[in-house]
Amino acid sequence: MNSKERVRAAIHFNRPDKVPIFNIVSGDVAPLPLIHSKDWNPGFAENEIGLFPHNKNPNSWERPDWTKDQPEFEGTNWKRIPHEEVDEWGIIWSMKGNDRNMGHPGRPSLPDLKKLDDHLEQYSLEASDRSRYKAALNLKKMLSDELYNMVIFESFGPSHVVSALRGFSNYLMDHVRNPQELKKLLNYVTDYHVEEIKMAFKYGLEPDGFWLSDDLGEQNGPFFNPRIFKKFYEPIYKRIVDAAHELGAELHLHCCGKVDRLIPVLIDCGLDSIEFDSPRMSGYNELKQYRGKIMFWGCVNIQSIYTHGTPEEVEREVWHMVRNLGTKDGGFGAYFYPQPKVIRASRKNIKAFEKGLEKYGNYSNIPSKWWDYPTADLWNDSEVPPLPH
């Protein structure tokens, strides 16, 4: 199989030859990232004074007057001191000044829902802006047609965007206190993602899949119960999934948190796969009821084994991911965390992940009895059970 065939066989449980690999620098998936509009240039509006652009090349920023004649803001000095940034949605990001990642959503920019319409008028994103797709189109020209082309949305999903705009506590309370305004915001973000899917095809990207990032839980459970999730989020996720499916593409969701209770709703929406950086957070025993119903992408658990385990444990854990998240007909893909330095994953453990896939990622090499070998009843996050024998 070529890479495109392998990924799709895994998604649809159609007996892939190997576990497909999603690695930012190699593997079966070609990530095609969308970017912000070239015309986006924040810092000039009254409510943006003191805010720097988020995820924008500082050299392409037309600097407002408040940044000038201040040594601490010269060049890219501001990147190295604590500061706030704003993105295209109007989300305010807190940056420590030594960030190795994207930072964290900070104070809410929409704490007062009476200003909802004004906010949406100011932060009105155009999915039809060709500049968003230019980098992805240029990258695609350099890549093999046999890879699975995955468009990476430049924006987070509806839940993440709205919670960052409102502030997390306000956002959770909105489900009860301000349901109509919440639905308006969620649909506004959803409209944008649906339109980007259509534009990706219109402008010639012709992707095989789309990658959406939307965290829906914390360490011990989802942000909302399944009833609330079904009421507010099933319609919007279904719209995004349907838009991809109508054009012949799949929809993949990265999601942090223990969200196993929400998976039945996502399956009902038609979601093709879900990716966990820490699969053990949701739990193998909790996830096994969904094996064969939805594909799982998984990294070796970044909260424990990948970052604190030995190379031997990392290598062995690969089999347990293949066994507990997939089936002998597919359903599992290996995901390499794209910023290993941020989580302090050692080079030895990264190589051990690769070695484990060489050993246990080829389906023809897996003894048939291994699929029936009993799995652990209790999983300690820091322990890796032995292999079947």
DSSP 230-274: HHHHHHHHHHHHHHHHHTT-EEEEE--S--GGGHHHHHHHT--EE
Taking the model in full, what pTM does it have? 0.96
The percent of residues in the chain predicted with pLDDT above 90, rounded, is 92
In a 13 Å sphere around the CA of 10, the CA atoms on its Cβ side amount to 32
Q: Flag whether pLDDT at 388 surpasses 90.
A: yes
What domains sit in the chain, N to C, each tagged with a CATH number? Answer: 3-37+131-372 (3.20.20.210), 41-87+90-124 (no CATH)
The 10s digit of each residue's pLDDT in 263-300 is: 999 999 999 999 999 999 999 999 999 999 999 999 99
Contact 188, 120 (CB under 8 A): yes
Q: What is the pLDDT of residue 58?
A: 87
The 10s digit of each residue's pLDDT in 250-265 is: 999 999 999 999 999 9
User: 205 falls in which pLDDT band (50, 70, 90)?
Assistant: very high
CA distances to 158, 297, 351 from 339, rounded to whole Å, are: 24, 17, 15
d(CA 53, CA 361): 42
The 10s digit of each residue's pLDDT in 120-132 is: 999 999 999 999 9
Closest by CA to 189, choosing from 248, 240, 262, 263, is 240
Q: What is the pLDDT of residue 170?
A: 98
Q: What is the pLDDT of residue 100?
A: 76
Q: What is the pLDDT of residue 75?
A: 86
Helix axis angle, 179-202 relative to 158-166, nearest 10°?
130
Q: Which residues, 6+ apart, have CB-to-CB distance to 279 below 8 Å?
A: 287, 296, 298, 299, 301, 321, 324, 325
Q: Of 62-71, 108-117, 191-200, 326-335, where does mean pLDDT reach its minimum?
A: 62-71
Q: What is the pLDDT of residue 364?
A: 96
Q: Which residues, 6+ apart, have CB-to-CB distance to 328 below 8 Å?
A: 363, 366, 368, 371
| Mean pLDDT, range 198-209, rounded to an integer | 97
H-helix or E-strand spanning residue 188: helix 179-202
Q: What is the pLDDT of residue 99?
A: 78
The percent of residues in the chain predicted with pLDDT above 70, rounded, is 100
The 10s digit of each residue's pLDDT in 8-28 is: 999 999 999 999 999 988 899
